[in-house]
Structure 1
Amino acid sequence: MDLLSIMATLVPRNEFRSFNAGEICKMVEKYYPEDFSLQDRYVLENQLNHFVLDISQDAELRKIGTITELCRCLVETSRHTAYNLVDRLLHLLVTLPVSTASAERAFSALKIIKTRLCSKMEDGFLSNSLFVYIEGGIVEKYVYDDIIQDFKNLKTRRADL
């Protein structure tokens, strides 16, 4: 919800109501620590403030109603180079629904794979089973005979008695 509220404050059509660069930088630090260094977060705060002033003064840009349109417009007007960190943040926010959907799909698959009967599965076997279930398109490319032959070629784990 925090990231969605950031998205709402950055849409120009909303006239940047409740915009707060410091709060956005705190959210960036919390949710995207690998994507923005400490120095990037300081620069991002300045870029956000300049960005809001710049966009507020342009009548055409104030009509933009979505983050996707804003990204496109930044590229078309070459503002994406001046506000490179804002552009990076916008791209991360645009991909938010995709990353959330893939995580939900994985947990849904986990619920199907790990039933009460299979609740004692070890992590490695569970991970492999989930991979086969989630990435079925990739697995279809493998030939079962090749997998069986690779398994046969493995050394025996037990000493023959």
Structure 2
Amino acid sequence: MNLVKTCKENLQLMRDNEFEELVEQASLFCYKHDIIVPTMDEEYVIPGRSRRNAPMKTNYHHYRVEIFIHVIDGQLAELMIASTRDLLMLEDQLGVYVHHMRSSSDFSQLEWISSLAEKMMEKGMHEIFPFVYLLLTLALILPVATASVERAFFAMNIIKNPLHNRMGDQWLNDSLIVYIEKDVFACIDNEIIMQRFQNMKTRRGQL
């Protein structure tokens, strides 16, 4: 419970005081990788849509209120409704789990978190200690998620160049997936792709 309280306080502090610092860090990253940085005082326009019927708002309002504060408020709401019962169960499971680990020879030779997670699956302990297994899973996913975000930012520098700066979100997402997972798409035969486009009713044509 103390950890949850600390997380809530840190999120609230970030919400109130740290947006400008985040913008500065993001701007430095963009300048370093030749990514266009929007001027915060200028009017925000939704990519791919006309300015005519768009509501008047600045880039600052969009990024701070509609994205930054919205995301943090969502996290705070999740923490507010977090089940006390689940937290108590996690605390109980950790105590029993640590005691079991110390008394079992099956876990004495393990050196890595991944090996520990595999052993829990092998012994069926992921069902006995689900919250402990969830913590291990999150610890394993975090480095992979960080690397994936870095790959996505690098790809955006190539895909969303000045000529493509106004592309819509869906088009950008599709282009990024093809570029980031190019090893997978390289295995798809060109004939299959052409046949798929030929079979699309709205754009039928001989390729």
**Band the TM-score falls in, shorter-chain normalisation:** 0.5 to 0.7
Q: Distance in 2 between matches of 1:26 and 1:80?
A: 28
Relative distance call for 1:118 and 1:110 in structure 2 (3 A) is same
Q: Distance in 2 between matches of 1:24 and 1:63?
A: 33
Q: Out of 197, 201, 207, which is 1:147 matched to?
A: 197
Aligned to 1:122: 168
Q: Distance in 2 between matches of 1:24 and 1:73?
A: 29
Q: Out of 133, 136, 153, which is 1:90 matched to?
A: 136
Relative distance call for 1:75 and 1:49 in structure 2 (3 A) is same
Q: Distance in 1 between matches of 2:136 and 2:170?
A: 36
Quote how far apart the aligned CAs of 1:115 are.
1.5
1:1-161 matches, within 5 Å, as 23=3, 38=83, 39-58=85-104, 61=107, 64-136=110-182, 137-138=184-185, 140-141=188-189, 142-144=192-194, 146-147=196-197, 150=200, 151-153=202-204
- Residue type of the partner of 1:40? D
- Residue type of the partner of 1:45? E
RMSD of aligned alpha carbons: 3.6
Q: Distance in 1 between matches of 2:4 and 2:117?
A: 17
Contact 2:159 / 2:176 at 8 angstroms: preserved in 1?
yes
Quote how far apart the aligned CAs of 1:133 are.
1.8
Quote how far apart the aligned CAs of 1:41 are.
3.0
- Residue type of the partner of 2:170? G
Quote how far apart the aligned CAs of 1:118 are.
2.2
TM-score (norm 2): 0.47
Relative distance call for 1:50 and 1:149 in structure 2 (3 A) is closer
Quote how far apart the aligned CAs of 1:125 are.
2.4
Percent identical pairs in the alignment equals: 30
Q: Distance in 1 between matches of 2:5 and 2:124?
A: 23
Quote how far apart the aligned CAs of 1:68 are.
1.5
Q: Distance in 1 between matches of 2:105 and 2:145?
A: 33
Secondary structure of residue in 2 paired with 1:143: helix
Contact 1:55 / 1:61 at 8 angstroms: preserved in 2?
yes
1:94-121 CA-to-partner distances (Å, cap 9, x unmatched) read: 2332232222222211111011232222
